[in-house]
Amino acid sequence: MKTVIIGGVAGGASAAARLRRLDESAEIILIERGSYVSFANCGLPYYIGGAIADQNNLTLQTPERFLARFKIDVRVNNEAVKINVDEKTVEVKNLKTGESHWESYDHLILSPGAEPIKPKIAGVDSDHVFTLRSIPDALQIKQYIADAKPNSAVVIGGGYIGVEMAENLRQAGLEVSIVELSDHLIAPLDFDMAADVHRYVKAKGITLYLNNGVQAIHGRTVVLQNGEIDTDMVILSVGVRPETALAKACGIKTNPRGSILVDRNMKTNIPGIYAVGDAVEATDFITGNPAFLPLAGPANKQGRIAADNIAGLDSQYSGTQGSAVLKLFDMTVATTGLNEKGAKAAGIHYEKTYLYSGSHASYYPGANNMSIKALWDRETLKILGAQIVGFDGVDKRMDVLATAIRFGAKITDLAALELCYAPPFGSAKDPVNMLGFVAENVIAGKVKQFFWHEMESLPRDGSVTLLDVRTAMEVGQGKIDGFMHIPLDLLRERIDEVPKGKPVYVHCHSGLRSYIACRILSGNGYDCFHLAGGWRLYQSVINEKIEM
């Protein structure tokens, strides 16, 4: 049996290694157009910024190591230019010699990946404008910084790669700006969670141009829809598209985006041909709808699944939920599953829960609060998605939540999880547990929520009572118009100051004290609502909107 794999990196290299482990006798040929068969493309920004000092550390496997360990024939600098599905052959061109030959196959795995999108604007092909996909791209950027010694850079696109590039260029000593067409960075975040990211990024000296697009690049000037920026270099990071021209040409079905259509076994519509990685249409694990989620983890799993099926195992891919984590200087941003935009688009009736909890026990030095948001289905109570912005401990909480989603957990199941605890690492009631506790209270009707985006619509005509239960010191640092002030610890003795017979809307700093206040008020016959996420979230979002 002979398997030809087109494309290396995550999907193709994983498929090749897995297939060899399953079948020692198989003939395996991996064709890679570039000079590197398996490299850490997620590490490229950190090489540019200097966190990864040695270029060789980016290379995960070489053709020589593939041959020695796995008996896999890796042919770099070779490009597959045509597939003959009737003859089951691939035309391969040697990019160094220019010679071509036809390679036969019994099974074919396509792993061509996705290519950076270059907007059709003037100046996009200038020698100081770069994209980042491969090691040669990273070397070119690194060399430009060394030779041209730029003082400034503009990153076009505020997704994961764009933000990572902005961080690393800033670490390299450049003045950096990010231009983003949307109203916030990092699309999987909702705006309210991105507000903290914006404030932190700006504090690190990076300038943000949100709700703004690039119209042209004229010399060293980037012309925006609103304004312009003078800069020494530009990084394009506006997204990627599946690189599937080869697949389309031989009759493999694709969707309107160009992604290859595959079944759960990673099979295309043509017998004997599989496809994996960023080039394929994925299935959203939460909604079951088609999705485009180019991530390394899913690509690795899909490569393994294709190899399993070639070797006779019925292995299936169950969908992608978009779990991702981002390092941003000292901050960590993590997401999994649906955000509010995705839940609305899927027509799901959802509820949301906010927390502002410590990374570990507050009495142990070094604790930092993290902002957590979870979405869950009102009818089934299943967790739909989560977002966390913070510092220490963000990644492990998100991994727990991603796992819970994968196994179909309800939001209330989080209350029962028994997680590791010691003061340096967490709290006896972990933030993940707290999400479950808060949801239990909402579901049981022990607390009713209102949200930051409803604040301005609350009547100020006396028909409702607006109550701030923070301390006098906190109120002195900022307050919301129309709210009377009674500190939580004085609420019982001053409860007669709260008019009866009308709803009470309460807020504190983070949501904990307002919940306690609502329990006190409810126990005394009041109809009470508390501000989910508290003043801290509200002022973060509102201040960001004002600055925009």
Could you please report the per-residue DSSP string of 196-221?
HHHHHHHHTT-EEE-S--EEEEETTE
**SS3 per residue for 290-348:** EECCCCHHHHHHHHHHHHHHHCCCCCCCCCECCCEEEEECCEEEEEEECCHHHHHHCCC
User: Rounded distance, CA 227 to CA 214, Å?
Assistant: 10
508 catalytically annotated: no
Is residue 77 a contact partner of residue 88, using CB atoms and an 8 Å limit? no
Location of structure tokens 């949100």: 210
Is residue 245 a contact partner of residue 229, using CB atoms and an 8 Å limit? no
Burial class from Cβ neighbours inside 10 Å (0-12, 13-18, 19+) for residue 144 reads: middle
Is residue 452 a contact partner of residue 535, using CB atoms and an 8 Å limit? no
User: Rounded distance, CA 460 to CA 485, Å?
Assistant: 15
Identify which of 348, 276, 288 has the alpha carbon closest to the alpha carbon of residue 319: 288
Candidate list 42, 250, 420, 518, residue with the active-site label: 42
- The length of the chain in residues reads 548
User: Rounded distance, CA 146 to CA 144, Å?
Assistant: 5
User: Rounded distance, CA 358 to CA 393, Å?
Assistant: 9
User: Rounded distance, CA 347 to CA 344, Å?
Assistant: 5
Is residue 386 a contact partner of residue 374, using CB atoms and an 8 Å limit? yes
User: Rounded distance, CA 470 to CA 87, Å?
Assistant: 75
Give the chain's count of helices (H) and strands (E): 14, 32
Q: What is the dihedral of CA 60, 61, 65, 66, to 10 degrees?
A: 140
Q: What are phi and psi of 217, to 5 degrees?
A: -125, 110
Is residue 133 a contact partner of residue 33, using CB atoms and an 8 Å limit? no
Is residue 81 a contact partner of residue 91, using CB atoms and an 8 Å limit? yes
Q: Give the tokens for residue 226.
A: 């609103």
- Backbone conformation region of residue 219, classed left if phi is above 0, alpha if psi is from -120 to 50, else beta: left
User: Rounded distance, CA 226 to CA 548, Å?
Assistant: 12
Identify which of 126, 105, 23, 34 has the alpha carbon closest to the alpha carbon of residue 70: 23
> Collapsing DSSP states into helix, strand and coil, what is residue 292?
coil
Active-site residues: which are they?
A: 42
